[in-house]
Amino acid sequence: MSFSSEVKEELSKLNIFGNDEILKSELFGYLLSANSSYANNNVEFITENEFNIERIYKILFKLKIDYDPDIKGKTFKAIVKKDDLDNLFENFNFSNDKDIVRGAFLGAGSVTEPNKRYHLEIIFKTAENAELIKKLCEMKDIKIKIMQNNEKTNLYLKDGEEISKFLAYIGANKSVINFEETRVFKDMKNNVNRRVNCETANLNKIVDASLEQVNDIKYIISKNKFEKLTPEMKAVAQARLEHPEESLKDLGKYLDEPIGKSGINYRLKKIHEFAEDLRKEEE
């Protein structure tokens, strides 16, 4: 089962059936989503999620709204008379904001597997419906974004922390825990990978620099000019030939009189300049 289905299964088990106002609010959210449509004075809610359809059937039954169930393959429908819904929502208020948002998410929402990427979205047929849910989320400091996609409008989140806040807001507390556990592991893994990549890059730099230094020293030796170097430069050159894997910081400890990174770097720079001058003489 996908993480999105797990979230919807958890939400479908929330017991709100003792409060008609909450039931109406969640139903209202369902009807705002892209999976609700109007035709021939009927309202149809369509879904391929069995948890959704069972919940909406139960909500309609509790609210004493007649409905016709319809199943075709993996597609489930609940068909309701538009007049019945108009009467139901005649004096509707928006005080139960989280229940409306939960209904919208159950209606046409999804969230990706947290171990892959962070993405939650809800699809609406009208920008007006999307703006309403966006406003309700922003009242709870959930920074949800809106995007027009062909004839539909999407609300979406791509930040892990914001997705956690959203799931907690609509009541998916168990899913929040699962999401956060995966998010923490994923972030730790990413941090380790970044550190390894950084250390690998630094190691590659050390290796590249060492190869260049060794080549300079060997070139000087091949031209019988090694004795032209100062004693200090000779000592560093000999240490580099014997320890090509060491960093500048560690190379200094192999000298009779150890010196620091800056001293090693200065002498190797002078060796490189000496080698370059020899190369120019050959041109």
Picking from 272, 263, 210, the residue whose alpha carbon sits closest to that of residue 241 is 210
The pLDDT tens digits of the residues spanning 199-236 come to 667 777 777 788 888 888 888 888 888 888 888 888 88
Q: How far is Cα 80 from Cα 45, in angstroms, rounded to an integer?
A: 8
pLDDT digits (tens, 9 = 90+) for 82-121: 888 888 888 877 777 899 999 999 999 999 888 888 899 9
Tell me the CATH number for domain 3-171: 3.10.28.10
Decide: residue 208, CB within 10 A, 0-12 exposed, 13-18 middle, 19+ buried.
exposed
Average pLDDT over residues 171-180: 88
Distance between CA atoms of residues 167 and 182, nearest Å: 14
Query: pLDDT for 177-203, tens place per residue?
Result: 888 888 777 777 666 667 767 766 777
How much is the pLDDT for 283? 64
Extended beta strands in 94-206, E state: 109-111, 120-124, 145-149, 152-157
pLDDT (average), residues 139-148 = 92
Residue that is written with structure tokens 């999620």 in the block: 49
Element (H, E) at 232: helix 231-242
pLDDT at position 158 is 93
Q: What are phi and psi of 138, to 5 degrees?
A: -65, -25
Q: How many CA atoms lie within 13 A of 123 on its CB side?
A: 12
Q: Tokens standing for 134?
A: 């966006």
CA distance 271 to 283: 19
Q: For residue 255, give Cα distances in angstroms to 216, 240, 245, 275.
A: 19, 10, 16, 22
Name the token pair of 269: 């720079």
Q: Which amino acid is at 168?
A: A
pLDDT of 265 > 70? The answer is yes
Contact 236, 267 (CB under 8 A): yes
Sketch the domain layout of the chain as residue ranges. Answer: 3-171, 190-282
Q: Which residues contact 274 (CB under 8 A, 6 or more apart)?
A: 216, 220, 225, 228, 229, 233
- Which helix (H) or strand (E) segment is 75 a member of? strand 75-81
Chain segment 46-64, per-residue pLDDT in tens = 888 888 888 888 989 998 9
Quickly count: other Cβ atoms within 10 Å of residue 180's Cβ: 17
Work out the mean pLDDT of the chain and round it to a whole number.
86
Q: How far apart are CA 117 and CA 111, in angstroms?
A: 10
- How far apart (Å, rounded) are the C-alpha atoms in residues 228 and 153? 76
Please report which confidence band the pLDDT of residue 146 belongs to, taking 50, 70 and 90 as the band edges: very high
> What pLDDT score was predicted for residue 73?
79
Share of the chain above pLDDT 90, in %: 23
Residue with tokens 């059937």: 57
pLDDT recorded at residue 189:
67
Which pTM was predicted?
0.67
pLDDT of residue 101: 94
At 102, list the tokens.
């939960």
Q: 3-state DSSP call for residue 22?
A: helix
pLDDT of residue 115: 82
- Alpha carbons 46 and 123: distance in angstroms, whole number: 13
Model pLDDT, residue 255: 85
pLDDT at 173 over 80: yes
8-state DSSP, 1: -
